[in-house]
Amino acid sequence: MKRCGHVTMPGAQPIDLKPTEFERVGREWTGVDVSANASKQAATVGELKLSGYQPRTVREEIRDNLIKRLEAGGPLFPEIHGYEDTVVPALENALLAEQDVIFLGERGQAKSRMIRALTGLLDEEIPTLDGVEIYEEPLAPISVEGKQRTEELGDDAPIRWVPRADRYGEKLATPDITIADLIGEVDPIKVAEGRYLSDELTIHFGLIPRTNRGIFCINELPDLAERIQVGLLNIMEERDVQIRGFRVRLPLDVLIVASANPEDYTNRGRIITPLKDRYGAQIRTHYPSELETELEIVSQESVPMAAPGRNLNTPDYMAEIVAEIVRLARRSPDVAQRSGVSVRASIAGYETLTANAMRRAILAGEEQVAPRICDLWHLAPALQGKMELETVDEGADEKVIEKLIAGAIAVVFGRYFELGALEPVIAEFKSGIAVEVGEALKAGDYASIVGRIEGLDEALQPLNVGEDAASIAAAVEFLLEGLHLNKRLNKDVVGGSIFYRA
């Protein structure tokens, strides 16, 4: 996945943001610049007033730009698939209603990606007072520092233009987060300089105030200690902030979005009821309901496999098998469904499949590369960490994965073949033919198998097999393993070799 530069909020860790989540989101969908003010590059408050600039809250800004998107007919999230009729309409309603949002769903359901992509609904640039700790509306500052600056300099107060990417803040909730991290704390250095503790200028603002006029995300909200959640109540409703015993009236303009896993409500923590009540919308995410959607995500997100002098061609049925492994895992009684099976399992499984095929071809000195059934048995390391099992017996995870692989092969085999049409091939095996396949064989060795078994060439036609030896080898292994799983052939495994016979 290609990534662009870091976006850093003061006091926060750098966040990698994909270009599509900002540049494409802001421009390609409508074909026009969504910013109402980006072209008016005023340098002072006075110039800004003369430009006809009209202040908007961040919620009004997002709502207005969303309306433009809806009128243009473009997708809200072009790189997120499967939510067009479920999650996206609910989110559009929440944003039109100017509500804070919490996304509720299992791991690997694109919650964080959707939240980050919301930045594309912000104006391309906005003006803010220069030299002030938080992003201030130049015509209506809210902090003491901002008010003093405009009172002293008036229309000559300098402004700067902030890009949409810098108006996003994110924090992963952990038990050690403090109120100071999110809201602020008295700065001892400022006190040492001679200011009183009751002076608002002694405050070092936390992440949320520093995201004023932007979007702030709290990932895994239930992991936030309950006493810290209480500290968010006034931020989201009354806008009163208490720091070290004195109150600061700071009417922040922030869209606060959060994500949570349903499992977190019982195992790791909970969201306190008053805080849930302050979120305008709770939107439930889900895994892809269609195989095609899962494959589309895998194709989009997987790292391309390439090696000098090698040409990789992954048959459709092999990609389908990987996706089916994960889809079966989401329904398997052997897998703990309460924590889900991430789409990352499909992506990692596909990457591992193609990686092993490439490794095998390199060792064999082959230029044409195609994943085979024998490569599927190398997926365990990619899948073991992405699914929790109901049993903790030693070696149980490998057995479950082998069972899922066999089930996926059988499902995909049934899509491409009818057993009745394969009777001529089965009859050849009944006549005494036995076949050896596996990683030990080079792709070119499979041509002799096709030549030995009458009717095998015709039987492979539903797969649209290419003419290269690698594609023929993949097709032969798929057909033979499918016949075995349908109890038409016996299978013996000896070391790295696999023997099929009647």
Cα separation, 99 vs 118, in Å, equals 13
Statement: residue 10 has pLDDT above 80? no
Spatial distance between the Cα atoms of 185 and 11, rounded to a whole number of angstroms: 13
Angle between helices 291-301 and 316-329 (to 10 degrees): 110
Q: What is the pLDDT of residue 201?
A: 62
Residues in CB range of 462: below 8 A, 6 or more apart? 416, 417
Predicted confidence (pLDDT) per residue in 344-384, tens digit: 999 999 999 999 999 999 999 999 999 999 999 999 999 98
- pLDDT for 194 equals 56
CA atoms within 13 A on the CB side of 480: 31
Cα 115 from Cα 357, distance rounded (Å): 36
Residue that is written with structure tokens 């079966």 in the block: 328
Q: Give pLDDT, residue 8.
A: 35
pLDDT (tens digit per residue) in 80-104: 999 999 999 999 999 999 999 999 9
Q: Residue range 135-140: average pLDDT?
A: 92
What's residue 2's pLDDT? 34
**H/E element holding 151?**
helix 144-153
Residue 249: pLDDT over 80: no
Greater confidence, 228 or 470?
470
Worst-scoring range by mean pLDDT, 67-81, 235-249, 414-428? 235-249
Of 15-19, 95-99, 173-177, the range with the highest mean pLDDT is: 95-99
Give the list of residues 6+ apart from residue 251 with CB closer than 8 angstroms, or none.
142, 239
pLDDT, one tens digit per residue, over 101-125 is 999 999 889 999 999 999 999 999 9
DSSP notation for 418-442 = -GGGGHHHHHHHHTT--EEEETTS-
Between 73 and 413, where is the model more confident?
413
| Percent share of the chain, pLDDT over 70 | 85
What is the arithmetic mean of pLDDT over 295-314? 94
Q: Residue 227: what pLDDT?
A: 84
Q: 351 or 201: whose pLDDT is higher?
A: 351
- DSSP string across 322-354: HHHHHHHHTT-TTB-TTS---HHHHHHHHHHHH
Which of 375, 374, 356 is CA-nearest to residue 497? 374
Q: Determine the 3-state secondary structure of 62 from DSSP.
A: helix
pLDDT digits (tens, 9 = 90+) for 209-219: 889 999 999 99
Helix (H) or strand (E) holding 161: strand 159-163
Shortest CA distance to 170 belongs to which of 215, 232, 125? Answer: 215
Which is more confident, 241 or 422? 422
pLDDT band, very low/low/confident/very high, at 199 (cuts 50, 70, 90): low
- pLDDT computed for residue 187 by the predictor: 63
Least confident of 4-13, 61-70, 115-124, 198-207: 4-13
Provide the whole-model pTM.
0.83
Choice among 138-147, 282-291, 295-304, 415-424 with the minimum mean pLDDT: 138-147
Q: Give the distance between the most distant pair of CA atoms in the chain.
A: 99
Range 448-456, long-range pairs (CB < 8 A, 24+ positions): 449/476, 450/476, 453/425, 453/428, 453/429, 454/424, 454/428, 455/424, 455/425, 455/428, 456/425, 456/428
Closest to 335 (Cα-Cα) out of 397, 395, 412: 397
Q: Tell me, what's the pLDDT at 398?
A: 87
162 forms beta bridges with 126
Average pLDDT of the chain to the nearest whole number: 85
What pLDDT is stored for residue 21 in this prediction? 39
Domains of the chain: 6-284 (3.40.50.300), 291-501 (no CATH)
| pLDDT value, residue 416 | 97
Q: Which of 36-45, 117-126, 421-430 has the lowest mean pLDDT?
A: 36-45
321: region left, alpha or beta (phi > 0 left; psi from -120 to 50 alpha): alpha
In the chain, what percentage of residues exceed pLDDT 90?
Answer: 62
pLDDT recorded at residue 181: 86
